[in-house]
Chains A and B, each alone.
Chain A
Amino acid sequence: MTNVDVRSAILQAIAEVAPEANLSALVGTVDLRDELDIDSMDFLRVLVGIDERLGVAVAERDYADVTTLDALVAYVASRKGAA
């Protein structure tokens, strides 16, 4: 699995929670909750969607490390051994 695959799966999880979001316009380096205007409940649903698709459960203590899309991709990719 590549970083591109991981990013694609994460975007699918986001689209399920925020179907109105323009995913191609996501900057990736700013707070994802602000970019998508989602709350903690929707953010958890995104993480659940990632777990279902990729089998990576982001630990609660790591939430501060995955605030942006790019950081979330890097976090999941590192655990999937993606390149």
Chain B
Amino acid sequence: MIANFEMPSLGADMEAGTLIEWLVKPGDRVKSGDIVAVVETQKGAIDVEIYQAGVIAELKVAPMTEVPVGTVLATLEVEGAVAPPPEPAAAPKPEPAVAPKPEPAVAIAPPSSRAKISPRARKLAADLGVAIETLTPTGADGSITVDDVQRAAPRPDAATSMREAIAAAMSRANREIPHYHLAHTVDIESALTWLEADNAQRKIADRVLPVALFLRAVARALREHPTFGGWYDGGRFTPGPGIHIGLAVARRDGGLVNPALHDADAGSLSELMSRIADVTQRARSGALRASELSDVTITITSLGDRGVDVVHPIIHPPQVAIVGVGTISRRAWVVEDRVEPRRVVTLTLGADHRVTDGHQGARFLQSIAHHLAHPESS
């Protein structure tokens, strides 16, 4: 049986992607989870996995070609039982794919040189601002091909592309999502004291940072309040297939990526910290995998390292909630009728009023605070 391998959707703001490189060739045997291609999106170059086992039959899209989401990139001769589709497939497709541009029937610009070039390649060169006389023809008859033009096209500045992607997603969020925001300041002195004692037993490379406590607390709270983890699309809420928490990571070259930590409620706190460190480093070096960008069910954004007291976050559509984490600060705090110096943090919840109400949001925040105060059971 032949199966299609398609350009995946890696977020609400993705309409198309550019196939940069094939990591397989026809005849190669692949298994579910293998990385088979590198695709460039507005979020950078992403390693794309395949989720079926078999033998690559045909590569249908050449490198350096931009195609809409859903385009068949390759076909696969499937062996035996078909593997279940990846969880991201359950996510609603947030945006329609871009229709391929029709090829012009006739040349629409007069020849500007003596070079042999097809009407389609000439139109593309004009659209992309590529000077035909600078191109090296590789066509069988010495003509300039579409691929020649695409290879020579100036690549958009990565930071600009990412800013455009963020602008599109955040504009959609403000346009479509009726946000409500709640804040809760939590005494985390006991949790941090426990963490410091725990870290004292570890090697420096294995130390756990407070971000892991926050992430784990949100994950545990989501088990009790699943309506904050999922997607709103087409007028209805779809619960996420798991607790896949996105961590907003600022990149050094500007912009923001939001990779998923799958099943963030599972495993030990040390394992979670290790995964956070790994995904953060890869997010900053541009080595994320497609599956890490396509199925986030809720996002955490922390600006505590920059001294921000309270974050008022904007939801990443089609998600329905986002948790903001402010800076950990030492404050005078009343504890059993005494005033003590305690380390506290302000958590905020931005939630979609189409899916939940403030009462539910308050209970969700309380649950996060409860789990944050008891990290030893994480």
Residues in A lying within 8 Å of B, measured CB to CB = 18, 20, 33, 37, 39-41, 44-45, 47-48, 51, 57-61
Contact B204 A58 (CB under 8 A): yes
Which B residues touch A60, using CB under 8 A?
Answer: 196, 199-200, 207
Contact A41 B280 (CB under 8 A): yes
Between-chain CB contacts (< 8 Å), 22 pairs: A20-B252, A20-B253, A33-B305, A40-B210, A40-B305, A41-B211, A41-B276, A41-B277, A41-B280, A44-B207, A44-B209, A45-B277, A48-B204, A48-B205, A51-B204, A57-B203, A57-B204, A59-B200, A60-B196, A60-B199, A60-B207, A61-B196
Min distance, Cβ A54 to any Cβ of chain B, angstroms: 12
User: Interface residue count for B (Cβ, 8 Å)?
Assistant: 18
Which B residues touch A58, using CB under 8 A?
Answer: 204
Distance, CA A45 to CA B252, complexed state (A): 15
Distance, CA A38 to CA B280, complexed state (A): 12
Min distance, Cβ B312 to any Cβ of chain A, angstroms: 20
Which A residues touch B253, using CB under 8 A?
Answer: 20
Asked whether A40 and B207 contact (CB < 8 A) given A18-B252, A60-B199, A61-B196, the answer is no
Min distance, Cβ A20 to any Cβ of chain B, angstroms: 6
Contact B252 A40 (CB under 8 A): no
Contact A41 B205 (CB under 8 A): no
Distance, CA A39 to CA B196, complexed state (A): 18
Residues in B lying within 8 Å of A, measured CB to CB = 196, 199-200, 203-205, 207, 209-211, 250, 252-253, 276-277, 280-281, 305
Name B285's closest neighbour in chain A (CB-CB): A19
Asked whether A40 and B211 contact (CB < 8 A) given A48-B205, A51-B205, the answer is yes
Q: Name, among B203, B204, B205, B209, the residue most crowded by chain A CB atoms within 10 Å (CB to CB).
A: B204
Q: Name, among A44, A57, A58, the residue most crowded by chain B CB atoms within 10 Å (CB to CB).
A: A44
Distance, CA A74 to CA B280, complexed state (A): 30
What would 4 more interface pairs be, CB under 8 Å, given A39-B250, A41-B211, A58-B204? A20-B252, A41-B280, A44-B209, A45-B277
Distance, CA A61 to CA B200, complexed state (A): 9
Which B residues touch A37, using CB under 8 A?
Answer: 252
Distance, CA A59 to CA B280, complexed state (A): 23
Contact B209 A40 (CB under 8 A): yes
Contact B280 A47 (CB under 8 A): no
Distance, CA A41 to CA B253, complexed state (A): 17
Min distance, Cβ A76 to any Cβ of chain B, angstroms: 13
Distance, CA A63 to CA B204, complexed state (A): 12
